[in-house]
Structure 1
């Protein structure tokens, strides 16, 4: 089951999304984590922190969790 993460805008970048989750301490850590480890977005590994995430995109972070993007009403 994916944890729902609500956003107020039409999209959010992958880097901003991970910062929003508050699982890493700084933006620099987010940047290096994405570049080195990668994150699974909709079943594909992605290393771009500028990747745009839209409603219903699924983000999986190894050993941390699985999240789905939802837009606030």
Structure 2
């Protein structure tokens, strides 16, 4: 993950359309460096959407959805805006 943010911090990430796929959002929010890393995070069970575990890279997110990635370094969060 290419972010230098502090674990627990909640970023607000704007999108231009009505929805965005989870894999794309992970990259846009800086929670994954690539599609391959996004897939790995999902496969490892480290991604949650609105508090529920999520493994589908194509899951459609809408505004106000909260995406959490639970890493050894801490929990990183981003809100779809």
- TM-score, normalised to structure 2, is 0.75
Q: Which runs of 4+ in 1 moved over 4 A?
A: none
Q: Counterparts of 1:15 and 1:67 in 2: how far apart (Å)?
A: 13
RMSD: 1.6
Aligned to 1:61: 69
Q: Greater relative contact order: 1 or 2 (C-alpha under 8 angstroms, separation 6 or more)?
A: 1
Query: 1 or 2, which has the higher helix percentage?
Result: 1
Q: 2:13 aligns with which of 5, 11, 15?
A: 5
Gap runs ≥5 in structure 1 = none
- TM-score, normalised to structure 1, is 0.82
